[in-house]
Amino acid sequence: MIRQIKTLIFLLILIFFSLQKLSHAAGVPSGTVITNRVTVTYSLGGQVLQTITESSFVVDNKVIVVVTGLGNATVLPNDKDQALVFSLTNAGNTPQRYKLEAGPVFSPENIEMTNIRIYLDKDNSGTLTAGDIPYSDPSSFGDIKPDETIKLLIVADIPQDVEDGKTSTYYLLATTVDAGTTNITQQSATNTAGVDVVFADSAGINDIARDGKHSASGVFTVGSATVYIEKDAEIIYDPLSTGQIKKPNPGAILRYTLTVTVTGSAVAKGVTIKDTIPQGSEYVRNTLRLNANPLTDEDDTDSGSFKDGAIEVKLGDLNKNSPRQVITFDIKIN
């Protein structure tokens, strides 16, 4: 019992100290006065004497902002509200706000998306959801405290005519703004005894070091998949035929073969093939097969069934590397 309590206390202290460490990572807040106090003791004429002095200086505003790309997006033609995910951290020692801009990273291959918007990903879902807050100006998301990180989304609509595999790279640029205002933060021209502003940020994808800005990029990739079905028919029995030549006479049995393949860079999810039995014929029971394996006609645990005048086979998720799926079934001509 005592041991368990000791372990619990140890763990709590450990958590407390690691949290403490996190909260001080951005450093001493700007405006803090650092005072040095020096005491000199000495002996003179048999007496012990003392003299004391103090000197102070003020900690400046060290501006550091970090924008990081957190996730790309695979999109389909005509999709709406597709999101690229970013984080923004105030790694400086003073509360700040940020002006945000999103734009395409130019290259001849880049396809342009439409209706570009920036949102605060309030529920941290990585997608545009009802509670997310749109950006209109630096005051939209309020002041960001030292060490605080917010999640942001670049949201876009995908045009209709875009090819599978094409990409579109977008950057998110954050420019430091004075807390409580919409004024871009300026680096102090001269050093004063008060709080001066120093830019200490790194270069991002679309900005330079020590400019009070940082940027990162994300990529939209058009990833579509197309399902191809090739259908062949073979007369396997003709009651009126005597030799090689078979014809689709009444009573003849036809075997249909459906070959299913997928092209494109995406996964075709939940591929289900349904084929209606043609009028003037009927399905020959228990002839449904997938890749030569028999499937029951009943709607049960296997992937095939015959109901409402159609065969249905569930093939699951397929992509371009999946083996060809071959479905066969027989019909009898009335």
Residue 163 has a CB neighbour count (10 Å cut-off) of 10
Shortest Cβ 17–another protein spacing (Å) = 7
Cβ closer to another protein: 44 or 245? 44
Shortest Cβ 47–another protein spacing (Å) = 7
Shortest Cβ 29–another protein spacing (Å) = 9
Question: How far apart are alpha carbons 167 and 82 in whole angstroms?
Answer: 13
Interface residues toward another protein, by CB under 8 A: 10, 13-14, 17, 24, 26-28, 30, 32, 34-45, 47-62, 93, 188, 191-193, 196, 198, 200
Cβ closer to another protein: 34 or 233? 34
Cβ closer to another protein: 196 or 302? 196
Cβ closer to another protein: 38 or 245? 38
- The answer to whether residues 31 and 195 touch, using CB atoms and an 8 Å cutoff, is yes
Cβ closer to another protein: 194 or 250? 194
Which long-range CB contacts under 8 A does 33-40 form with residues at least 24 apart? Answer: 33/57, 33/58, 33/59, 34/58, 34/59
Shortest Cβ 48–another protein spacing (Å) = 8
Find, among 98, 87, 63, the residue nearest to 201 by Cα.
63
Cβ closer to another protein: 45 or 243? 45
Shortest Cβ 36–another protein spacing (Å) = 5
Shortest Cβ 72–another protein spacing (Å) = 33
* Overall size of the chain counted in residues: 334
Cβ closer to another protein: 50 or 107? 50
Shortest Cβ 151–another protein spacing (Å) = 25
Question: How far apart are alpha carbons 150 and 141 in whole angstroms?
Answer: 9
